[in-house]
Structure 1
């Protein structure tokens, strides 16, 4: 029986750079950083408030096919890959703090039916959403166009 989600993978362009971004900028902590064989690096980070969920930072590489690796790298270069959704206590404050650290935002904090949301990119170009959640009901979405 499945009990929870324990690992998610995020495609990155450079593991060292992404490890620094996720730890130094976003406040995650390194969980594992191991070489498994000559050409596979297993690197995970966790958030201190949710250490049971590991984020695997990985690059497109074998055993993926050459065609898929090339397609993934094109998607990364275009900034077309999704990343993580991050819950925040205060979206405006987090936006200001991360902007001061050089994080690129695609959308400043905006009121939504489900809370306040801002859209940013990690240092590999992945889309990441920050959400300050609030209680909502289905009728809160009446007329909402995104």
Structure 2
């Protein structure tokens, strides 16, 4: 669903991806961990997060992993994944303005963000 590209200047990156490459701006949402800014192609469900390296410096808890997967029932999916041996950074999914999120660690230590959007 999401792929993260770390950038030094979100405005400059947005101009490059939209004006230069012709992608569409999808999400532009300020949050406690920085601006959540995405671009995408037409009707594709895949989006590129233009994440500020300044916001991601030191990888604070709120910085997204480079891969983000979406779930319709995150709590249920987390329990299934735990039974399969997946390790998570948090004990339970955390509430964010967009919905729920938890971070899984893959064998090389890379983070995979799992999220469930808030229902309107």
Same fold by TM (over 0.5)?
Answer: no
Structure 1 or 2, whichever has the larger Rg, is 1
Which structure shows the bigger proportion of residues in helix conformation? 1
Superposition TM-score tier, normalisation by shorter sequence? 0.3 to 0.5
